[in-house]
Amino acid sequence: MNNKTITTFAKWQVKQGNLEAVISLLKEAVAKSSVEEGNLKYEVYQGNDNENILMLFEEYTNQEALEFHRNSAHFQDIVVGKIVPLLENRDVIISSLLDF
């Protein structure tokens, strides 16, 4: 069992003409994900130079909480099923803080 806090950084490039749809769907995903047990933070940022760039910053108590989130019905339905097809590109980095 991994008890380190897990941080996810995701960069989404939204296909031209789909930004409103993605943001609308993302509002629902954030609302449902934020109340999951093990979710510590779920923030979304938008690029200043390119509004079609969205950055997601998420924190989970541990790897199991992240896996619960990624396997949840709302993540699979909203993010995987509805948002991902509207994206040009999606980069996700799953990380843990280095303790110095």
All residues at 6 or more sequence positions from 49 whose CB lies less than 8 Å from its CB, including other chains:
none
Averages of pLDDT over each 10 residues, the chain, 100 residues: 86 98 97 97 98 98 97 97 98 93
pLDDT given at position 2: 59
List the domains of the chain with CATH numbers: 6-96 (3.30.70.100)
Give the C-alpha separation, 7 to 96, whole Å.
6
- Supply the pLDDT for residue 18: 98
